[in-house]
Amino acid sequence: MAVNEIITQAEDKMRKSVDVCMRDFNGVRTGRANPALVEGLRVDYYGTSTPLKQLAGISTPEARLIVIQPWDISSIGAIEKSIQKSELGIPPSNDGKVIRLSVPSLTKERRGELVKVVHRLTEEGRVAIRGVRREANENIKLAEKSSSITEDENFKAQDDIQKITDKYIKDLEALSKKKENDIMEV
């Protein structure tokens, strides 16, 4: 495998790790209503576990309100049940046509817990990025062992991979800080 290919693959995997972290951050509640809080919920729809976003329109008409409008009215009970089973901690209100979730403001203790969740997700992202770096460095060392690259090319490639790693960890830190500020915002 060529050095450029190894570096390109590593960068692509690191970018995907940051994207996964960003999606995970969107699932962490802030004081505002966000459709991402419920989009990934799985609903038992006629015996099949289906993502909520495939069963209903989800909107946030107000800063603290999520409205879920099922396309099939008969699924409203199943949707309500999955919201109650979830870890959201928001009781659904059902009027027969739509489900409303009134997002309460967060207590100081709950904000602290959510910040810890964000820190854990950030660390998981860092570990994933470092794992990609380790794998890329091993591939480069194997290329040097098989004499397809020189020792100098090995060191340069590892240096390039470290720079890419630093960049994506910095991006991850920035996303984490932004999410933390959103959570702590009253």
**Among 65, 86, 102, where does a domain finish?**
102
**Same domain assignment for residues 136 and 90:** no
In the chain, the largest separation of any two C-alpha atoms, in whole Å, equals 70
For 140-181, write each residue's pLDDT tens digit. Answer: 999 889 888 888 989 999 999 999 999 999 999 999 999 888
Query: Looking at residues 38-60, what average pLDDT do you find?
Result: 87
pLDDT above 70 (res 6): yes
Q: Three-state DSSP class for 61?
A: strand
Average pLDDT, the chain: 88
Assigned domain for 31 exists: no
Query: Looking at residues 59-86, what average pLDDT do you find?
Result: 88
What percent of the chain is modeled with pLDDT above 70? 98
Q: 5 near 75, Cβ under 8 Å?
A: no
Locate tokens 């790693």: which residue? 165
What is the extent of the structural domain holding 161?
3-26+107-184
Helix 108-145 to helix 3-26 angle (10° resolution) is 170
Give the pair of three-digit tokens for residue 112: 């602290």
**Same domain assignment for residues 140 and 173:** yes
pLDDT above 90 (res 32): no
Higher pLDDT, 53 or 174: 174
For 97-115, write each residue's pLDDT tens digit. Answer: 899 988 877 788 888 888 8
**Same domain assignment for residues 93 and 123:** no
Give the pLDDT band of residue 186 (cuts 50, 70, 90).
low
pLDDT at 62: 86
Cross-strand partners of 158 = none
Q: Which residues of 27-39 are buried (b: 16+ CB within 10 A; e: fewer)?
A: bbbbbebbbebbb
**Same domain assignment for residues 42 and 18:** no
pLDDT at 185: 77
Assigned domain for 127 exists: yes
Cα(35)–Cα(21) distance, rounded to whole angstroms?
Answer: 17
Domain count, the chain: 2
**Same domain assignment for residues 179 and 112:** yes
Q: What is the CATH number of the domain that holds 94?
A: 3.30.1360.40
Give the pLDDT band of residue 83 (cuts 50, 70, 90).
confident
Give the pair of three-digit tokens for residue 132: 């990609």
Q: What is the CA radius of gyration of the chain?
A: 22
**Same domain assignment for residues 86 and 44:** yes
Q: What is the dihedral of CA 159, 164, 168, 169, to 10 degrees?
A: 0
